Structure 1
Amino acid sequence: MTTQRPLALVTGSSSGIGLELAKQFALNDYDVIISGSSEKIHKATEEVKALGVNCFSHRADASTYEGVEGLWQFFLTLNRPLDAAALNVGIAIGGAFVENSLEDEFKQIAINITGTVHLAKRVVQHMVANKHGKILVTSSVSATQPTPYETVYGPSKAFGFSFAESLREELRDTGVTVTALLPGATDSDFHKNAGMSNSPIGRAKKNDKTEVARQGFEALMNDIDHVVGGDEHTKQRAVENRTTPETVKAARHAQNVRVDS
């Protein structure tokens, strides 16, 4: 008689940090549910399955109530307890706030904040009832500073960081833990998708996405409240952000992300 593997859910896992998080769970003998909005989720499924576990994929638009609720209903059809959840889906939009469309900014908020809260509500209620579970919320180093030319993104990730830390304290003694992952700039399609390829940060060398995911996974497994994902320079910058004036950080970020004309 074989023992069923624990089950993890990873959102935003078609590529990038999300896919690497899914692989971390698989390498540690978890079955995995992965979700994403594009057809790339099917290729990602095969990559995770190749690690010797079961992988269940669901394509969904995380910016809509129906998309998030549909993912949760998909999980329920498996009729299994959820042992871990990585709420990783998130997008950025580069450019000047005065020029970006309101529709795009609302979609960013819907994915980064509303969708995260929606899925967290379902996950938390399920796990607390079972008195067991681990939750990882992907925030960003951007949560520790103003982010001009990503003027909605940074605040949305600051919400995620504060949300994770707040929820962690609420769930103390329930058997459910919460960890925040704050990646620095990472070697994924993130900046390309945000329209920032032609910016200093878009062209700069970035942190390895596999290492960032590994750091997040280890922090989750070891019940650490938050971890900065990346190399020592990235971690030191996050430490320095605690004491650097907001105006200085804002000017520095603007210089790094403003797209060259």
Structure 2
Amino acid sequence: MSTRPLALVTGSSTGIGLEIARELGRRGHDLVLCADEPLDEAVNRLGRSGVVTHPVHADLGTEQGVQELLDVVDGLGTPLEVAALNVGIGQGGAFLDSPVQAHLEVVRVDVVGTVQLAHGLLAGMVQRGRGRVLVTSSVVSGLPGPYQATYNASKSFVQSFTEALQTELADTGVSVTLLRPGATESAFWRRSGLTSSLLGRMPKDDPGATARAGVQGLFEGKRQVVPATPTGRLLDATAAVVPSRVKAALQAVMSRPR
């Protein structure tokens, strides 16, 4: 059994997830990395800095994939100290222009997978009376999402779900932090089909800065972190004060394919 603390990061092949993994590695954690695409680059980059990694290739939109990841974590024999539930996918374009299965996949990964994984991991943390969980939502959780309808809705669920857990787990020794980034540079835009939208073409936040803010907030026990970046602050302020109909119209301009 390793003497280093163990952390799990989902969606850790690229983008924010990879940078969260790097931050946790710098803090002395061994890492379970999970993605639905190859993790070779992430493993190589982290390995060069001396971090021990356990890569898991799994689709967290399936019950089997989540259980496979839980089995790997359990099989390591080391208590899980940190879990970063970061994986998320989107589907750009008008709702009716994509097959319903594409939208259901967003719900399965972003919502169902998050709930199943959280349930499987939190039980052990609560039993031990310690642990930290970082859940990645988005500043668009407060915005209706024309042309990325299921993604915005899924992030609204994730935010509400996380805030509920924060209250339920308040006296257990387990902290839950919500990370709400703005538009951040990652493979998300390509995979979601949003590269031609105004939002897809605008300058993005640095994933390293976003990850550092999230991990710092996690270890400080913060309930919520919105990185102090231009897009994050602007979208968060818009969601807080602008009427819903106006927010939907603004999101439509930003997300409509060009």
| TM-score w.r.t. length of structure 1 | 0.96
Distance 1:188 1:236 in 2: 19
Q: Give yes or no for the alignment of 1:242 onto 2:230.
A: no
Q: 1:101-128 deviations in whole A, cap 9, x for unaligned?
A: 1111111100000000000001110100
Contact 2:205 2:231 in 1 (8 A): no
Contact 2:182 2:231 in 1 (8 A): no
Q: 1:155-205 deviations in whole A, cap 9, x for unaligned?
A: 100111111111011001100000010111001111111111111111110
Query: SS at 1:134's partner residue?
Result: strand
**Match of 1:35, as an amino acid?**
C
- Counterparts of 1:72-221 in structure 2, within 5 Å, are 72-221=70-219
Consecutive unaligned residues of structure 2, counting only runs of 5 or more, are none
Query: SS at 2:162's partner residue?
Result: helix
Please state how far the C-alpha of 1:233 moved relative to its aligned partner: 4.7
Contact 2:2 2:78 in 1 (8 A): no
**Match of 2:51, as an amino acid?**
V
Distance 1:139 1:3 in 2: 31
- Find runs of 4+ consecutive structure 1 residues off by over 3 angstroms: none
Please state how far the C-alpha of 1:248 moved relative to its aligned partner: 0.8
Q: Give yes or no for the alignment of 1:15 onto 2:14.
A: yes
| Structure 1 match to 2:5 | 6
- Counterparts of 1:29-40 in structure 2, within 5 Å, are 29-39=28-38
Contact 1:183 1:230 in 2 (8 A): no
Query: SS at 2:98's partner residue?
Result: coil
| TM-score w.r.t. length of structure 2 | 0.97
Q: Percent identity?
A: 38
Instruction: Please provide the CA RMSD for this pair.
Output: 1.3
Query: SS at 2:149's partner residue?
Result: coil
